[in-house]
Structure 1
Amino acid sequence: MQLFSLSFFLFFFLLNPTPSLSLSSDGLSLLSLKSAVDDAASAFSDWNEDDPNPCRWTGISCMNVSGFSDPRVVGIAISGRNLRGYIPSELGNLFYLRRLNLHGNNFYGSIPVQLFNASSLHSIFLYGNNLSGTLPPAMCQLPRLQNVDFSNNSLSGSIPEGLKKCKQLQRLVVTRNQFSGEIPEGIWPEMENLVQLDLSSNEFNGSIPDDIGELKSLSGTLNLSHNHFTGKIPKSLGNLPETVSFDLRSNNLSGEIPQTGAFANQGPTAFLNNPDLCGFPLQKSCRNPSRSSPEGQSSSPESGTNARKGLSPGLIILISVADAAGVAFIGLIIVYIYWKNRDSQGCSCTGKEKLGSTGRSALCSCLSAHSFQNNDSEMESDKERGGKGAEGDLVAIDKGFSFELDELLRASAYVLGKSGLGIVYKVVLGNGVPVAVRRLGEGGEQRYKEFVAEVQAIGRVKHPNVVKLRAYYWAPDEKLLISDFISNGNLANALRGRSGQPSSSLSWSTRLKIAKGTARGLAYLHECSPRKFVHGDIKPSNILLDNEFQPYISDFGLNRLITITGNNPASSGGFIGGALPYLKSVQPERPNNYKAPEARVANSRPTQKWDVYSFGVVLLELLTGKSPELSSPTTSTSTEVPDLVKWVRKGFEEENPLSDMVDPLLLQEVQAKKEVLAVFHVALACTEGDPELRPRMKTLSENLERIGS
């Protein structure tokens, strides 16, 4: 070791005949990194050897250590700069170095073994480079190592058995490398603190070790996808915590998917592209070759085949004809009952009228044009009346909700807001009940049936944290959605106030309540709603609050309705109840930084993982009090962070104090520190750049429910 250090200093003196003697030993070691990088002059412009210490250099953090007069280097964070070079072994001389973050560059070569002489290291982030070589077994000599992310490199070789010595390791991420071979058993029971394991997109083969099921601290996603694993899925994986999601896609696994423990919470996506897998939740059933024969003995597959061969072609045809006749007979009965019920409504047509290009429809109707329609047969008549030139109907989705269109049009109203999804009014009915009315505009008369089908699907969503759609109105020149009015504004105003300044009314318990309720509503939309909805635009302004700060998700399904109507509702004329065109809440359109990175690509198709990312950004805003929305120069405040996700991730990577990131208004609630940290971890899982690494909303909701309970 002494010889190694001496050789470095001789090298340094040869390059610098008249070096400054004032620079600390840590600074001299750091200069080796500058020397190892191409175009170092621009990348390390303020790394000056004449400084007494490197603590003011870009990317370097220091702290005072007892027994030393000079502060010592504890962090290196030089990421995302596309630097080309190698990692010098001299960094191992930084004995107090705790965090090494060089991700997002173009470092090549192997990871030097000497690096692990820096015995205080606990976080190493080298992902997104071009490093080669093997996984260094020496890293497990570090007594405090907790976080290792070597993903997106060119590392190869096998997983060393010595990995079991990394007893403090919490996160091991080596996805998108070239690792191969079988994963040895005996490693995982020793790694009792492991929270995240990602071995995806490599060349691993063989069977999945049974003892992976002993990772009791695991959370988030166990990702073994895109490898060459074979054999059956170990039942022991069911012993993992129920909040763990599996990703076993794109392997060569076979047999029946176990149904115990954590397997019960997995969706079909976790097992796709394994041609020989079968059983729930896949739609491919597993054949049972051991059916009992009449004698009580199990029959072989061959005997089953012979039995099937015993059916003559004539008998098969006869059975098929009988089945078809039975189905036709049942269908006739259903049609007869349907038309009999329709006739019993007292509605009859005397001719074969058709919709003309002008004038009013001659089709019969049981109810007036301004009445609610509450059954399916009447809805069919509505659909026919929806053609060009027809007068519209106000249609109730909730049968217990009744008023007439004239009452709606005469009621007092004022504008709540305006956006690309239409103008929203608050309308107070004659009985004093307020409703929210969204005006969608004038177009889309040729797609009435699509519109009705979509509205009916939205209307079937019933959850205490989702705004309830009560009725709708359709006419060629007007389309309205009537829903519950939520009395306390939205989360955006609650966080920032109507003036854009921070609000002091949201305590930590209230914010946690809002987070939990929103997660429950989104999980319902994703998992339990009739359409398995994707919201596509989760942000604080779409989370409404009542007087008890209970959250309600609004505006889901509207993008599809706007597409059907095919126009810009915000530019349409007309006002309800004489409401003045005073749009107090109108704001100029801003870039939507709540959207997932993949959602910002033109013509991309919405997915549930979009909503997960957006929900994560909302959580970060609840935690930090900072908005990710870009403002105009005249309204910019210190509460805005253009990329909130990167800002928080950088804070955690550099181990900044929690007080530097959390909303100052929450610092008074000291007892909530553990809960705040737990929600930060949930938010960071939501905002993973790779959509496949983001958990399902069901899992996130369950994790949030445990916090503070």
Structure 2
Amino acid sequence: MEFYAFVWALMILGFGSSGTKRSSMALTPDGLTLLTFKAAVSSDPANALVTWNEDDEDPCRWPGVSCANISGNPRVVGVAVSGKNLSGYIPSELGSLLYLRRLNLHGNRLSGHIPSELFNATSLHSLFLYDNNLSGSIPPSLCDLPRLQNLDLSKNSISGTIPLDLRHCRQLQRLLLARNRIYGEIPAGIWPEMESLSQLDLSSNQFNGSIPTDLGELGSLVGTLNLSHNHFSGEIPTSLGRLPPDVSLDLRFNNLSGEIPQTGSLVNQGPTAFLNNPLLCGFPLQNPCQNNVAPAPPGGQIPSPTTGTPPEKHGLRPGLIILISIADAVGVALIGLIAVYVYWKVKDQGNGCSCTGRSKLGGDGNSAICGCWRAGIGSDEGESDKGDGGGGGGGGEGELVAIDKGFSFELDELLRASAYVLGKSGLGIVYKVVLGNGIPVAVRRLGEGGAQRYKEFSAEAQAIGRVKHPNIVRLRAYYWAQDEKLLITDFISNGNLATALRGRAGQGSITWNARLKIIKGTGRGLSHLHECNPRKFVHGDIKPSNILLDADYNPYISDFGLIRLISIAGNEAPSSSSSGTPGGFIGAALPISKSAPLDRPNPYRAPESRFPTARPSQKSDVYSFGLILFEMLTGKPPEFSSPATPSTSTAGSDGVPELVRWVRRCFDEAKPLSEILDPVLVREVQAKKEVLGVFHVAISCTDSDPEARPRMKAVSETLDRIGGT
């Protein structure tokens, strides 16, 4: 079939309909090879390949094709035709593209086997074929590629077993095989050889047998090791405790049994990692391990019942049983009375602090340090106090509303959980709270007031909670009462971009690859806010402290919608310049102190947004994003003062930050990139085209005319075309 497609392509190139030879054969060999792929496509509903024309001199201007000048000739180095619903197959001729580095055909309907000849393209380092209808087995020859780093074959119909030759993929960093039909046991001896592997996903297949013990040798793993939705059986190997401590396990929906080992990184896993394994027991599951086997008597023999005289019956008389029961009841009641007495005594000594500060529970309602989790609010150091956490929180008058129905918990569980202060700002305090199931959440207190605006608050919170995107912090639930409002969101573990850019104690600056990952993810999240919701959200406060990071440097936009919720909750609405915290959710925590500096200038605001009566817009969000790009590229904050303008002001009289002026001046004067770029990146970055591409995006985003700035959707799409996938 592939041979005929190739012959058909050559016929089109060499002969016209009359059978006479064409007058021009100018297309390069790489272009001829790509036309075999076009010939192998039986359906192209989006016309993605319609401009792939044999009359062109080279394919470098074809959509989805990228080239590089190698030895004076343009050679194809990337093919990205994804999400176009192409039907057909992958021709083996693509393996003749000797300089091909990235092949991205995901999100189509391609079928058939993955040709082994494809791996003759020895420069290939990234192969993305996920979300197709590919079948057959994993080609053992894929590890003949000396530079292969990324392999994603998930969401196909690939079957067979894991080839033992996989151990030769020593450079492989991402191996994603989820949602296929791969079966059998995973052979031992593969994983210790794959010393560069950072991401492994084998979920939703048909694997059986035990989990290989040498998976614990994957010391470079980050993120989640996903083995869920398979048929693994036996005990969880203790060797998995040797995985890095920040790696999350997902072993759900298997047939694992026995006690969960309490060693190393296994201790850090929450209960969700082990769900739907009925025979598993032990912490953190609520299924204790029980040993019901009675010890055998000395000699190892179990005595047989005696024959003859019936055994004498032993037992307590009924009257004695009644007396013991009464005594037990009196003892329990006495202990309960003592506990209640001690509880209220402690309350009195604590100046009447209740969890919500209500006077009817003994509080005066006005204490500046009284509130949920006494240690969290009453201590500047943020030390946790695992006491009872106060007195009730809701009192039957409030309402805890779970926006995400799969994320349920009781109010009492939230208020009594251990908690500590993540950070403080002029807007208040943020807490990290670990629920009873081991899941950490972030909680923000919105203070008191706004008793008559519940419906408005609820509608706004529900709208924010419906925003779901991998790069936006999720609002999971909220609590409303007259004297307490809480927002409960995901906890993001690795601080924020502002802290990362300035470095942490004992850590170096973030790499270019990590910065590019943050740039792209933030762009996608902000584009989603602007474009993909009926509300067409405006963030209004985009800045590095509101871009949170996880352990893998995935970015999460926080704080959107917060100002509106604060206003409804009855507090004084803060300016959009208020600072965030390194915690992990919709904002920075409140109650708001009247003496808090709420009007500090925000150097990331667009020039047109600096007037007191100005309202934020999507184009002002774009400007703030461009300014963040400048900071990530140069390492300089917006208030940076260049030698040409030694001023300490954040912006000039027209509101344009000096950093924007300086970068534009450097480009106008054609200064070397080494004089503009962050010195940390100068020593690292080799792909100067990627850096220049981001610079040009930032320059267009920071145009002084709002109407001349691009939409965030166009910005995100441009960034996604820079560098690798």
- Shorter-chain TM-score bucket reads 0.5 to 0.7
Query: Residue 366 of structure 2 aligns to a residue in which SS?
Result: strand
Q: What is the one-letter code of the residue matched to 2:52? A: W
Q: CA RMSD in A?
A: 6.0
Q: What is the one-letter code of the residue matched to 1:462? A: V
* Aligned partners of 2:159 and 2:182 also within 8 Å: yes
Give the match for residue 90 of structure 1: 93
Task: Tell me how far apart the structure 2 counterparts of residues 454 and 213 of structure 1 sit (CA, whole Å).
Answer: 34
- Alpha carbons of structure 1 residues 41 and 50: separation in structure 2 relative to 1, 3 Å: farther
- 1:103 aligned residue (79, 103, 106): 106
Give the match for residue 28 of structure 1: 32
1:339-488 → structure 2 map (5 Å cutoff) = 374-376=351-353, 382-383=359-360, 393-397=365-369, 447=397, 461-464=420-423, 468-469=428-429, 474=448
Give the match for residue 57 of structure 2: 52
- Alpha carbons of structure 1 residues 570 and 324: separation in structure 2 relative to 1, 3 Å: same
Task: Tell me how far apart the structure 2 counterparts of residues 455 and 161 of structure 1 sit (CA, whole Å).
Answer: 48
Deviates more, 1:470-479 or 1:54-63: 470-479
1:126-525 → structure 2 map (5 Å cutoff) = 126-289=129-292, 321-335=326-340, 374-376=351-353, 382-383=359-360, 393-397=365-369, 447=397, 461-464=420-423, 468-469=428-429, 474=448, 508-509=502-503
Q: Is 1:670 paired with 2:690?
A: no
- Alpha carbons of structure 1 residues 234 and 310: separation in structure 2 relative to 1, 3 Å: farther
Q: What is the one-letter code of the residue matched to 2:44? A: D
* Per-residue deviation, residues 329-350 of structure 1 (Å, max 9, x unmatched): 12223445667899x99xxxxx
Q: What is the one-letter code of the residue matched to 2:258? A: G
Q: Scaled by the length of structure 2, what TM-score is found? A: 0.54
Q: What is the one-letter code of the residue matched to 2:200? A: L
1:147 is displaced (CA, Å) by 1.2
* Aligned partners of 1:393 and 1:474 also within 8 Å: no
Query: Residue 85 of structure 1 aligns to a residue in which SS?
Result: strand
Q: What is the one-letter code of the residue matched to 1:382? A: S
Task: Tell me how far apart the structure 2 counterparts of residues 513 and 465 of structure 1 sit (CA, whole Å).
Answer: 25
- Alpha carbons of structure 1 residues 191 and 329: separation in structure 2 relative to 1, 3 Å: same
1:11 is displaced (CA, Å) by 4.7
* Aligned partners of 2:450 and 2:570 also within 8 Å: no
* Per-residue deviation, residues 50-104 of structure 1 (Å, max 9, x unmatched): 11111111111111223xx421111111112222222122211212111101111
Q: Scaled by the length of structure 1, what TM-score is found? A: 0.55
1:123 is displaced (CA, Å) by 1.1
* Per-residue deviation, residues 585-636 of structure 1 (Å, max 9, x unmatched): 8634759999xxxxxxxxxxxxxxxxxxxxxx9999974699xxxxxxxx99
- Alpha carbons of structure 1 residues 476 and 252: separation in structure 2 relative to 1, 3 Å: closer
Q: What is the one-letter code of the residue matched to 1:154? A: S
* Aligned partners of 2:501 and 2:632 also within 8 Å: no
Task: Tell me how far apart the structure 2 counterparts of residues 47 and 468 of structure 1 sit (CA, whole Å).
Answer: 58
Query: Residue 107 of structure 1 aligns to a residue in which SS?
Result: strand
1:516-555 → structure 2 map (5 Å cutoff) = 540=542, 543=545
- Alpha carbons of structure 1 residues 590 and 64: separation in structure 2 relative to 1, 3 Å: closer
Query: Residue 282 of structure 1 aligns to a residue in which SS?
Result: coil
1:116 is displaced (CA, Å) by 1.6
- 2:75 aligned residue (72, 79, 89): 72
* Aligned partners of 2:199 and 2:221 also within 8 Å: yes
- Alpha carbons of structure 1 residues 566 and 21: separation in structure 2 relative to 1, 3 Å: same
1:264 is displaced (CA, Å) by 2.1
- Alpha carbons of structure 1 residues 136 and 338: separation in structure 2 relative to 1, 3 Å: closer
1:119 is displaced (CA, Å) by 2.0
- Alpha carbons of structure 1 residues 120 and 338: separation in structure 2 relative to 1, 3 Å: closer
- Alpha carbons of structure 1 residues 336 and 674: separation in structure 2 relative to 1, 3 Å: same
* Aligned partners of 2:160 and 2:183 also within 8 Å: yes
Task: Tell me how far apart the structure 2 counterparts of residues 329 and 180 of structure 1 sit (CA, whole Å).
Answer: 61
* Aligned partners of 2:135 and 2:156 also within 8 Å: yes
- Alpha carbons of structure 1 residues 381 and 128: separation in structure 2 relative to 1, 3 Å: closer
Give the match for residue 584 of structure 2: none
Query: Residue 332 of structure 1 aligns to a residue in which SS?
Result: helix
Q: Is 1:584 paired with 2:595?
A: no
Query: Residue 463 of structure 1 aligns to a residue in which SS?
Result: strand
- Alpha carbons of structure 1 residues 623 and 319: separation in structure 2 relative to 1, 3 Å: farther
1:556 is displaced (CA, Å) by 8.8
* Aligned partners of 1:89 and 1:115 also within 8 Å: yes
Give the match for residue 63 of structure 1: 68
Task: Tell me how far apart the structure 1 counterparts of residues 48 and 35 of structure 2 sit (CA, whole Å).
Answer: 12
Give the match for residue 644 of structure 1: none
Number of equivalent positions? 490
* Aligned partners of 2:352 and 2:362 also within 8 Å: no
1:672 is displaced (CA, Å) by 7.0
Query: Residue 36 of structure 2 aligns to a residue in which SS?
Result: helix
* Per-residue deviation, residues 530-564 of structure 1 (Å, max 9, x unmatched): xxxxxxx998569489xxxxxxx999999899699
- Alpha carbons of structure 1 residues 237 and 380: separation in structure 2 relative to 1, 3 Å: closer
Deviates more, 1:149-158 or 1:104-113: 104-113
Q: What is the one-letter code of the residue matched to 2:204? A: S
* Aligned partners of 1:73 and 1:96 also within 8 Å: yes
Identity %: 46
Query: Residue 212 of structure 1 aligns to a residue in which SS?
Result: helix
1:548-563 → structure 2 map (5 Å cutoff) = none
Give the match for residue 39 of structure 1: 44
1:164 is displaced (CA, Å) by 2.0
- Alpha carbons of structure 1 residues 266 and 80: separation in structure 2 relative to 1, 3 Å: same
1:46 is displaced (CA, Å) by 2.7
- Alpha carbons of structure 1 residues 195 and 280: separation in structure 2 relative to 1, 3 Å: same
